[in-house]
Amino acid sequence: MTNSTNAKKALKLYGMPWWFATAAILVVYLAAYLEVLSTDMAGTLALMLAIAVPLYEIGKRIPIWNKYVGGGLVLTFLGTAALVQYNVIPAKYTESIAIFMDDTNFLTFFIIVLITGSVLSLDRDILLKSFAGYVPAILGGVVGAALLGILGGLLFGVNPILILLQYVLPVMGGGNGAGAIPLSQIYADVTGGSSDSYYAFAIVILTIANIFAIMTAAMLNSLGEKKPEWTGDKKTLLRNSNFVVKDDSNEKVSMNDIGAGLFLGVSAFTFGRVMSSKILPTIFGAPIHQLAYMIIFVVILAATGVVPKSIRLGAKKLQSFITTALTIVVMVGVGADMDLGEFVAALTLQNAVIALLIVIGAILGSAIVGYFVGFYPIDAAITAGLCMANRGGSGDIAVLGAADRMELMAYAQLSSRLGGAIILILGSFAFSFLM
């Protein structure tokens, strides 16, 4: 039997023999074409997987793209956006995808599982040390973004104050819902200007920066392969530590353990919602997101050691499954929500260069400060830098996926949530004193 024959027989798509997966994909396509595919969770998930699997498999095999642009996950994201833009996917199914992602809020569930599993797998001492140095790394990224953003503005004759208020703040603000939208309202409240006009420009710049953040994340991953001393094991930030993520491959994990890990995660999220809604919704006037409170709560649980080992292993096992099996589903949902035409129309040379320089500034600032507080510079740049310069939760997943560092989700969410709150506070002062 020849090597090519062996390769064909061994080829698998999404864990299935290629011919089996192809048959499943074609069945879903046929049902969608005939418009008999259901728009409930089962039908929508089937369609999202049928879209994601071929795009992902193609993307991870394209030379250069798979190393420096983000591979299968980025092609899944952009490919889905193109399919929606050109109406290849029937309208009722794009609507069902939106409902699955937004109304059902699958994205938040995905993030909850990742946060719980990644935090509970961390060594207690390393956990406390890394979180203690994380805010300075975030602030380093903000300063770097501001400096290079202003430099880009000078190249095009744009006022530095305008760069800070209309470019840097939206990009570094923690995404859309936690950043651009509240920033536009703060802008209107403080200046009396139009929140709609501020938001319309902010979301364009944020979208452009998000694409650059994903692409540079892939480049940083490749840099880490060439310079291993600049990065860790993709699961922790601290240098010179003997930290090893708990390996559950040789541990017995029951279905009850996994269920307990799930219940712990959603309970911690509920605690965060109580804190953000009723007990302490704002700090210094800035709203604190429920996921930020959830992270703090799970960190406390992990640091005190009150969570039994079986539950920690169960949460980790669940995280591994979700990350392996459903990240591509999230990328379809994120891509379907992106207006590719609007993005292309806004991609002027000026906006592209300034947004790119802001992203590079976030990388350099967080990497430099991260290094001085004891972090690996590449991992600090990805989490404290790029996860500030993207579109929040969906951007975090895209960035960490492109960088092959999904285990760092808790840090990414700190950037998007607590880091975003810091930007809102800075924005309140900036609109007051610079306008």
Distance in angstroms (rounded) separating the CA atoms of residues 98 and 110: 15
**Three-state SS annotation for 206-236:** HHHHHHHHHHHHHHHHHHHHHCHHHCCCCCC
Spatial CA neighbour of 62 closest among 262, 279, 218:
218
pLDDT of residue 178: 62
Report the 10 Å Cβ neighbour count for 244: 12
**Tokens at residue 329, please?**
């589903």
pLDDT of residue 372: 93
**Tokens at residue 59, please?**
């993307």
pLDDT of residue 290: 82
pLDDT of residue 177: 59
Distance in angstroms (rounded) separating the CA atoms of residues 412 and 130: 13
**Tokens at residue 64, please?**
């250069």
**Three-state SS annotation for 317-356:** HHHHHHHHHHHHHHHHHHHHCCCHHHHHHHCCHHHHHHHH
Contacts of 194 (CB under 8 A, 6+ apart): 188
Spatial CA neighbour of 212 closest among 335, 337, 69, 89:
69
**Tokens at residue 220, please?**
């940083």
Rounded (5°) CA angle 329-17-113:
30
| pLDDT under 70: residue ranges of the chain | 1-10, 68-70, 126, 176-178, 181, 196, 241-249, 285-286, 435
Alpha helix positions (H), 121-254: 124-132, 134-155, 160-163, 169-171, 181-191, 195-226
Report the 10 Å Cβ neighbour count for 110: 23
| Beta strands at 12-13 and 16-17: parallel, antiparallel or unpaired | antiparallel
**Tokens at residue 53, please?**
């699997």
Indicate the pTM of the whole model. Answer: 0.76
**Tokens at residue 78, please?**
């952009």
Using left for φ > 0, alpha for ψ between -120 and 50, and beta otherwise, residue 289 falls in beta
Spatial CA neighbour of 319 closest among 132, 6, 109:
109
**Tokens at residue 378, please?**
């590449």
Distance in angstroms (rounded) separating the CA atoms of residues 69 and 417: 26
How many residues does this entry show for the chain?
435
Q: How far is CA 358 from CA 33, 62, 274, 319, in A?
A: 43, 28, 35, 32
Quote the crossing angle between the two packed helices 106-120 and 392-402, to the nearest 10°. 60
Distance in angstroms (rounded) separating the CA atoms of residues 399 and 349: 23
| DSSP 8-state secondary structure symbol assigned to residue 407 | G
pLDDT of residue 162: 92
pLDDT of residue 245: 46
Distance in angstroms (rounded) separating the CA atoms of residues 303 and 289: 21
